[in-house]
Amino acid sequence: MPGSRRQIYEGLVALNEEMFPKVCGRCGQVFHSVDDYLHKTRRLFHCSGLRRYEEPSLSFLGLYRNCRCGSTLLAMFQDRRDESEVGMRRRTRFQAVLDQLVEAGWDRSIAREEVEKILAGQKSTLLELFLAR
């Protein structure tokens, strides 16, 4: 894989590694992405499972779901406005990947949409084709 494509790939991997995989502490089920987490778990019976957490330097959303074994799990999703060191590092990586894709000829809005798909655990056919060249 040529240098710039490798950097883009490594940037995408680094962004996704910060959230997943998640593992159920009770049965060991592994959730590799947001999509995997949503498909392999069930909504809580009595509520949506969404809860917002805010602290002075950090804001995030928690999504509680039930594993197939019955254990309640929590996936944390950082607010894009996270000003902590981790949040700043994550935004810097995201921006670097976008800049590299634009330098490679991508439209910025399309690049953003495709990188956001990856971060949401979805498939990006455009990025897969691009990285495979």
Average pLDDT over residues 42-55: 79
Task: Name the DSSP letter for residue 81.
Answer: T
H helix or E strand, kind and range, residue 50: strand 50-55
Average pLDDT over residues 77-93: 72
Q: Is a pLDDT exceeding 90 seen at residue 60?
A: no
Task: Name the DSSP letter for residue 7.
Answer: H
Interatomic CA distance for residues 103 and 86, integer angstroms? 26
Give the global pTM.
0.48
Q: Is a pLDDT exceeding 70 seen at residue 48?
A: yes
Between the CA of residue 58 and those of 32, 54, 55, 76, 78, what are the distances in Å? Answer: 24, 6, 5, 12, 8
The pLDDT assigned to 75 comes to 83
The pLDDT assigned to 69 comes to 96
Interatomic CA distance for residues 55 and 87, integer angstroms? 14
Q: Name the more confident of 103 and 51.
A: 103
Q: Name the more confident of 11 and 70.
A: 70
Q: Is a pLDDT exceeding 90 seen at residue 102?
A: yes
Q: Is a pLDDT exceeding 90 seen at residue 106?
A: yes
